Structure 1
C-alpha cells in the first residue's frame, strides 16, 4: 500500500503545497501577463510565499520577509533560493493581477471538488441537497469609513460599517466557496446572482438582499429554482390564497400564488409569478414568509431548503475565527 503524506502531524504548509501544480500556476500567470519583466520572483514563488504568510497569520511585509530570511535553507526545495525583500514582494502584489489567483483557485476547486462533497452522509441528506447552492455575503470591518466606503444607514454614532465585503457562493454539500468576490462594504449583493451561470435543476437559496424580479424571471426560464426571504414592502397581485391550520385551529402554513409586475428600461414589462409560503417559526415566535418560483413542491421542503442557507453562515464564522483581524 502506498504511504499517504496527508496525515496528522505532517506540516500543514507541506500538505497545501502538495495540492498545487507548479506548471499550471506558471501557465495561468503567463496567460494573464504575470511573468513579464520577471527574473526570479515568478508566480509560483509568489503564491507559496503568500500561502506561508496566511498560514503563519502574518499581517505585514516585514514579518513575512524576516521569517523567510530565517528559513531560507529550508525552502530551496520549493524554488526559493534567494533573499526576498519587502520591495520585491510589494511590487509583485501590486503588479501581478488578481485574475491569476482567481484562475488558480477555480482550477483547484474543479480538481478537488469531488473530495469536498459529503458523500458519507448521502443516505441522510435529501435528494435536493446536491443541487442546492447558497449565496450570501459578509463584511470584514477594516479601520474606518475613510479607506472603504461604509455600508448601511448612518447610526446615532455617526459612523458606518466600513471594510471589505466577501461575496460567496457554496454548494450545500461541500462547504467551501465555488465562487468568491471581494468588494467594498457598500457594494450591493445582487450583482453576484448570475442566472447565466446556472443550469436547469439547480436550486439557489439566498437572503432577501438578492431580490430582483428580472433575474428571478430569467432563473425561472432556465429551470432554476430559487428560495429567498420576503421583503415587507414588495408589491404584488394575489392569484390564489390558501391557509392550512393545526387541529387546534392555529395557522400552520399559508400558501399564496402571486404575480409581480415591473417595468424595466426600454419600456419592457416583466411579469413574474411565484409563491409565498408563510409559516410559524416556533423558536423565534414569529411568522416567516419565503418567496420561491417552485409552485409544486411541499412547503416543508421549501422551508428546509431555506434553513439550509445557514450553512454559509457557519463558513463565514469559521473564516473570521481562523483569520482574525488585529
Structure 2
C-alpha cells in the first residue's frame, strides 16, 4: 500500500501556487464559486493533458475512477462534465494566461545560459504557425473554408531552451507574416528567424 504522495502531486508541487493564487485574486476567479475552484479546474486540466484525455466525458470518467485519490491529488471539488464545461466557458482566461507567462519567465531564467550549438551574440527567435482544423458545425465562428473551420496557433520560440515567448491564436486565414506586425514582447537585440 502506498503511503506517500501520488505522482501527480509530486509533479504539481513544483508549480508556484502563490503566483497562481495571485493570478486568481487579480481577476476574481473564485468569486461566486461554491465548490469547484480555479485550482480544481487547473489541476483537472493538467491531469487531462498529462494523461492524454480527449473529451470532458473522458476526463470525468478517468477522474471518477480515481475518486478516492482526488483529495491527495489536490482536487477538492466534485468533478462532473457540466461543472468542467461551465468552468472552462465562464472562468476568466487571463488567470491562466498570466500564470503561463509567469512559468515561461521562470523557464527562460533557467535556460538563459544554455548553449544550443551556435555561438550567437543575440537572442534568436523562430516563428512557427500551426493550423488546427475544427468542425464547422461546432465552431461556426472560426470559418476557414466553405466546409471547414480552423484557427491558427502562432508561436514565437526562443531557441535557447526552445521556450515559447509569445503565443497568438488567430483565425485560420491569417498568414504568418502578419504576426510580425503585432506588438510582440521581445527582448532588445532580437533576430527573428
TM-score by length of 1: 0.51
Q: What does residue 149 of structure 1 align with? A: 143
- C-alpha distance in 2, partners of 1:113/1:176? 7
**TM alignment of 1:288-299, pairs within 5 A:** none
Q: Measure how far apart 1:160 and its partner are.
A: 6.8
- C-alpha distance in 2, partners of 1:180/1:196? 9
Q: Measure how far apart 1:90 and its partner are.
A: 1.0
Q: Give aligned pairs, total.
A: 185
Q: What does residue 154 of structure 2 align with? A: 167
- C-alpha distance in 2, partners of 1:161/1:126? 44
Deviates more, 1:90-99 or 1:108-117: 108-117
Q: CA RMSD in A?
A: 2.6
The structure carrying a bigger helix percent of its residues is 2
Deviates more, 1:189-198 or 1:23-32: 189-198
- C-alpha distance in 1, partners of 2:77/2:91? 20
Per-residue CA deviations over 1:200-228 (Å, capped at 9, x if unaligned) read 422112xxxxxxxxxxxxxxxxxxxxxxx
| Higher normalized contact order (CA 8 Å, seq sep 6+, divided by chain length) | 2
Q: What does residue 36 of structure 1 align with? A: 31
Unmatched runs of 5 consecutive residues or more in structure 1: 1-9, 152-158, 206-326
- C-alpha distance in 1, partners of 2:38/2:180? 28
Q: Measure how far apart 1:188 and its partner are.
A: 4.3
- C-alpha distance in 1, partners of 2:25/2:39? 11
The structure carrying a bigger strand percent of its residues is 1
Q: Does 1:88 align with 2:83?
A: yes
Picking from 27, 41, 48, the partner of 1:46 is 41
Unmatched runs of 5 consecutive residues or more in structure 2: 1-5
Q: Measure how far apart 1:150 and its partner are.
A: 1.0
Contact 2:135–2:148, Cα closer than 8 Å, also in 1: no
**TM alignment of 1:56-95, pairs within 5 A:** 56-95=51-90
3-state DSSP class of the match of 1:127?
coil
Contact 1:22–1:44, Cα closer than 8 Å, also in 2: no
**TM alignment of 1:301-320, pairs within 5 A:** none
Cα pair distance change 1:135/1:125, threshold 3 Å? same
Q: Measure how far apart 1:78 and its partner are.
A: 3.9
Q: What does residue 186 of structure 2 align with? A: 198
